Amino acid sequence: MHPKQKLAIYAIGFVVVFGFLLMGVLTAAKVWFPPPLQLSLQPPGQQPRNAGFWRQLQRIFKAHPKKIRYRRSSKRKVRRVRRGSGGGVPRTVRSRQHLAYRETVLGYFIQSNSYTNNPAEALRQAQRSKLTGPWREYELIRLRTRILAYQFDENKDRSLLPTYKKAAVQAVESPFANFEDYFWAGHVYLYTKDPRNAQKYFDLAHDNWPARDSFYGYIYFFQMCLNAVNGRGENLLKQFDDFQAVFPDWLYVEIYVTELNELQKLYPDAALLWFLRGQIFQMVLNDANALEAFQTALRSGKLDRSMTAAATIQIDRIKQRQ
């Protein structure tokens, strides 16, 4: 055999053998040396340097998915709202007549509510309106859903839940259903222990919500809670990174921690809800509550390996701070 032919065999052998070895090394590194957990709240001294060019390289080839999500969900749709004449119409109505009917119904409701505090009476009066259209039935269901939702939200009375659920499902099944109805459907499914449907409707609401307002923040918050309920710790940590940017009232924990209290009663097995609680209290530097929440999460023994590590690290940080 000519030496050059031998070289061809050696070369092919080199490429094949070392190629497999290289891929083996990469796979072994992936299995045995996974990347450390990137916790959402890092003390100022431990923040990673922004000088890493591999991270910037990634930005060339992989645009960050979060950017796309925000662009799709909010920016474009806000731009599409009509300005000038014809502007100012809510995006949940189909026509001027539809809007007029809604205003009538709301007017009756406000008038009667102040005296009777009876939504049924308001609805009965609203049905006397002469305005008709295919949206008439939907508007009544919608108003009923909102009333029940606000009543439930005020005192968390679980006896309201069957009625509330029926109304919310009717609203969602209507051809006039919009992003607000998706939100309330997700809300009622979450509180009736149906996380799968809740996830579906919160995702729909998230994708269709037209602006980055307070309600959008609540969608995000409930999605975090759902991740905690479903045991998806990694997703929870990722979402918590943007919590302050998305949720305008993040500083006022007492406003939204009531939701967490209720959910913890409903889902006592979800240890990640305790973890989320700890993250939230640590965010506002309430070390005592955060420590208690993290320790409860750890004591439950239901956290997976990575989340146990995360909780332990957070506890260490709190203790160092103290």
Partner 1 sequence: MNHRLQTFRLGPSRHGLNMALRLGLLLMLGAPLLLAAAPVGGSREVEPLTWIENLFLVLQSIWEIAKTLFRLSDLLLSCWSGLLIFIWLVATKYKERRPDYPMLAMFLAGGVICSFFALFFNMELSTTTRFNFFEATSRFDSFMAFFIGAGIGEEFWKMSAGLIVVVLALGLGRNLGDAGRILGFVVVGLSFAVMENIISYAPRHGLFDMLQRGLLATPLHAIMGMIHGWAVNRSIRRQSPLPLLSGYALAVIFHTLYDTIFLLVDAGLEQLGAHEVWPDLMMHIPHALLVGPIVFFLLRWAHRYWRTVPEGDPSTAELDAAADWI
The distance of closest approach from Cβ of residue 5 to partner 1 in the complex, given in angstroms and rounded to an integer, is 7
Q: What's the rounded Cα separation, in Å, for the pair 259 and 152?
A: 11
- The CA distances from residue 272 to 40, 207, 283, 299, in Å, are 15, 25, 16, 12
The distance of closest approach from Cβ of residue 74 to partner 1 in the complex, given in angstroms and rounded to an integer, is 15
Q: Does 10 participate in binding partner 1 (rule CB under 8 A)?
A: yes
Range 85-114, binding partner 1 (CB under 8 A): none
Token reading at 222: 């409930």
Range 27-86, binding partner 1 (CB under 8 A): 29-30, 33-36, 48-49, 51-58, 60-63, 65-66, 68-69
- Where would I find the H helices in the chain? 3-32, 53-61, 65-70, 76-80, 96-116, 119-126, 136-155, 161-173, 179-191, 195-208, 214-229, 233-241, 243-246, 253-266, 271-283, 287-300, 305-321
18-38: buried (b, 16+ CB within 10 Å) or exposed (e) per residue? eeeeeeeeeeeeeeeeeeeee
Residue 71 or 96: the one with the smaller Cβ distance to partner 1 is 71
Encoded one letter per residue, x for contact with partner 1 by CB under 8 A and - for no contact, window 302-321 reads: --------------------
The distance of closest approach from Cβ of residue 175 to partner 1 in the complex, given in angstroms and rounded to an integer, is 25
Amino acid identity for residue 210 in this structure: P
Q: Does 242 participate in binding partner 1 (rule CB under 8 A)?
A: no
Residue 8 or 41: the one with the smaller Cβ distance to partner 1 is 8
The site for partner 1 (CB under 8 A) is made up of 3-8, 10-15, 18-19, 22, 25-26, 29-30, 33-36, 48-49, 51-58, 60-63, 65-66, 68-69, 227, 232, 234-235, 238-239
